[in-house]
Amino acid sequence: MGWSIRAPFAGFSTALAEIPDEVFARAMLGDGAAIDPTEGELRAPCDGEVISVAAARHAVALRAPCGAEILVHVGIDTVALGGEGFTLLVRKGDRVHAGDLLLNFDLDLVARKARSLITPVIVTNAERFRVTRAHLDRRVASGDVLFELEECGAAAPAGAAALRAPVVSEALVVAHAHGIHARPAGLIARVAKSLPYDLEVRARGRSANAKSAVALMALGVRGGDELVIVGFDAQAATGIAEIARVVRGLDGAPAPHPAKPPPAPVVASAAVPAGSLRGVIASRGFAVGAALEFDNEDLVVSESGAGAASENAALDRALDAVRKRLAERASAASGAMRGILEAHQELIEDPELLAAARSSIGAGKSAGFAWRQGISASVAGLNATGDARLMERAADFADLERQVLRQLAGAGEQRREIPAGSILVAQDLTPSQLIDIDTSRLAGITLAGGGPTSHVAILAATLGIPMLVSLGAGLRETKSGAALVLDADAGVLNARPTDSELNAARTRLEQGRVRQARELDEAGTDCRLASGERIEVFANLAGSAADTRHAVTQGAEGCGLLRTEFLFLDRATAPDEAEQLRSYQQVADLLGRRPLVIRTLDVGGDKPIAYLPLPPEENPALGLRGIRTSLWRPELLDVQLRALLAVKPAVRILLPMITDVAEFRLVSERLNDLCRELGVARPQLGAMIETPAAAMLADQIAAVADFLSIGTNDLAQYGLAMDRGHAELAARIDGVHPAVLRLIEVTARGAAAHRRPLAVCGGLASDPGAVPLLLGLGVDELSVVPGSIPRLKALIRKLELDACRKLAAHALGLTTAAEVRAAVQAALPAG
């Protein structure tokens, strides 16, 4: 039996091989035909259900009644238009009939801006259906038969959703705003690989092997999508429940970020000098230097292999070499760099990617050609989702492709000599390429392509290298040796500075260096306002020795927030008392006599840990979090409190996510019991103010707590009712919003009523534009990112308390965060 797939619009039909894109031309996504359209109305090629709509509105997928999945992808590289020129008329889940209008598009606009208008119409589940009797090389009208399908005689491979009946399953909605991107996919795959049976994840009308991070990412699951985890025997229920917990906890497990996350995409809007290019800020900073072109070498591979045994062996050797290098680098790295390297380790072990390469080798292809083909198919799957974040992960696959192909060619690592003060100029850059560079000699990075949340952007931000991306084709005109002025604070690259502009930039750079050196030199002394009041400036720490030493060199007067989650995450069992004590004591020893504030475990539905299975929560941000989790599992809290009581000198203990006096008293009473049992003095016990409830009850909490510390990140999130992980809302969350400032003000009044110290340890404390407001509202301690300490101390020394109070009072009466920031900018002292 056959089924007809019809032309979605009028045009000229042709074979897929004519498409100017290797992925479609080689039928990596599936077989079918292509049409060069002559009209801008796309209609359904068959009856069916809409199973996927690209975020950029350029592609729609249907599932026909026979089970065939048909993708219509308007034009080539049209995803880059971001939806411009496209009007979508259907949604996922809609049922349509052949000929129904699915979307309109501006034919002229898309023709001007896209690489090509030629549109592939393909069947993506080729394991079940083959294309027959394609009507090619002719004019077709909308609704004419384009090709026919018939069901394959062979059974679908294991894992094909349509032919495998699940025995157990669980459905859930993905709450994480960014859906199943690289890091979540890796977490799911890691769990699935540890299980002795197969699981599938089904979403958006497709299915994926749960052990394959690549296949999971290619599903294109976004926040709000429903997915179903299925197993094929009864014992799979346990594994399904574990993966469901991972998915529910994704809001607390984003892709690795540096301590100071890369800023949201910012495109400069102000006028820029002639010869300048506007870009997107990936890592802030300012640099002057000589351009250094960094072109990716063209690695040529032969298509034909020397036999499956020989090519498989060659691929195995190359993969082993890359795995070893990734493991060595990951073991020596920390923070964002380690997370990225671990993500690459996960991808290179991906079963779908490896299976695709082995299959090509079995068909007579060389190892290099097979690896490149497998990578291309994976990238095509990500690009077809239309999800910008997933598409940025394509750079990670390009990185692995390059590393393995170099090994196959016997070239090993690629080392580049970097003249000191260079500004790198490239179309794109991969994480391993940046890691291979002596970044101490690099002044900045400029990319024609790339994205602000790519892994290489995260690395640049971690390393403190100014970086602009998406500068466009104009960057290609920049040649090595040309003088550049990179302003990654304004989002502008001056590619042809005049002598006067160059001199002004160098003066600005030198003044900045002198100022930073002066600020660092003065950072070791106590900090006081110009009016004489003492303000303590502490550091937020994550627990490592390097982090602590850095904070001390930057002038930290103590630690106002030591996060303890790092000890509890990414392990099979909780750390015991001895391990915790060793970790906390190391930080205390490095700080010397400086105060140390340690926050108890802050995990829950938003930060899941494998050995702490939490009940299902529809909204983890409002569920078992912070102290609620500790009270739910008091045995974990007891072990931690015992370890904290053993640290010398005594530390201050801080409780996260307190909402009322009752919660605080429960822990306070338990602490008293332990102190009596151990025969030690009771340490200071403080409460974090992170919710509007805690702020409004601050006077009551201050009556029983020894100190208060405001966590402005969560206070702003809850106060403004905006999820700080939400792609559309995160950029609108600003802690200087008058509503948040009023919550801080009422907290300060509550602390003052009982003469309790008040600190701010959230992101707002590190913001120079917020510090005058915080001091004016009554905050007397700031705990900040270590690298911000010299600059903030220098600022504080210029401020008068009365002026800060007047500024804060004025800000409380404003209506928007933008108005508040403008008022602060006008009031800040020059320099």
Contacts of 212 (CB under 8 A, 6+ apart): 189, 350, 351, 352, 353
Q: In what order do the strands lie in the sheet with 276-278?
A: 276-278, 492-494, 483-487, 286-293, 422-426, 442-447, 467-469, 280-283
| Catalytic entry in 455, 527, 559, 804 | 455
pTM: 0.52
CA Rg, the chain, in Å? 29
DSSP 76: B
pLDDT digits (tens, 9 = 90+) for 5-61: 999 999 999 988 888 876 677 666 678 999 999 999 999 999 998 877 776 788 888
Percent over 90 (pLDDT), the chain: 34
Q: How many CB atoms lie within 10 A of CB 463?
A: 18
Residue 829 phi/psi, 5-degree rounding, is: -65, 150
DSSP 125: -
Q: Where is 209: in which H helix or E strand?
A: strand 206-209
Sign of CA dihedral 13, 16, 17, 20: positive
**Confidence band of 615 (pLDDT split at 50, 70, 90):** low
pLDDT digits (tens, 9 = 90+) for 565-613: 878 765 668 889 999 999 999 999 999 999 999 999 887 654 556 566 6
- Beta strand extents in 617-767 (DSSP E only): 652-658, 685-689, 707-710, 758-760
pLDDT digits (tens, 9 = 90+) for 302-329: 888 888 898 889 998 888 888 888 887 7
Answer yes or no: 455 catalytic: yes
Q: How many CB atoms lie within 10 A of CB 127?
A: 16
Whole-angstrom distance, CA of residue 736 vs CA of residue 769: 9
Whole-angstrom distance, CA of residue 62 vs CA of residue 205: 9
Q: Which two tokens stand for residue 122?
A: 């393909």
What residues are paired with 758 via a beta bridge?
Answer: 708
What's residue 613's pLDDT?
Answer: 62
What's residue 387's pLDDT?
Answer: 52
pLDDT digits (tens, 9 = 90+) for 480-494: 899 999 998 778 899
Whole-angstrom distance, CA of residue 93 vs CA of residue 49: 6
**Nearest partner of 636 among 575, 677, 583, judged by Cα:** 575
Sign of CA dihedral 454, 457, 459, 461: negative
Whole-angstrom distance, CA of residue 104 vs CA of residue 60: 12
Contacts of 674 (CB under 8 A, 6+ apart): 638, 641, 642, 645
pLDDT(153) > 60: no
* CA atoms within 13 Å, Cβ hemisphere of 285: 21
pLDDT(234) > 80: no
The mean pLDDT value of the chain amounts to 82
**Nearest partner of 370 among 355, 383, 351, judged by Cα:** 355
CB 336 within 8 A of CB 258: yes
Domains of the chain, CATH where assigned = 2-151 (2.70.70.10), 161-252 (3.30.1340.10), 276-296+415-516 (3.50.30.10), 308-408 (1.10.274.10), 527-613+620-803 (3.20.20.60)
DSSP H helical segments within 471-609, as ranges? 499-522, 545-553, 577-591
Contacts of 280 (CB under 8 A, 6+ apart): 265, 266, 267, 451, 452, 468, 469, 470, 491
**Nearest partner of 134 among 155, 120, 124, judged by Cα:** 120
What's residue 38's pLDDT?
Answer: 92
**Nearest partner of 577 among 631, 668, 645, judged by Cα:** 645
Q: Residue 649: is the preceding peptide bond cis (ω within 30°)?
A: yes
Whole-angstrom distance, CA of residue 154 vs CA of residue 159: 14
CB 505 within 8 A of CB 485: yes
Does 796 or 469 have the greater pLDDT score? 796
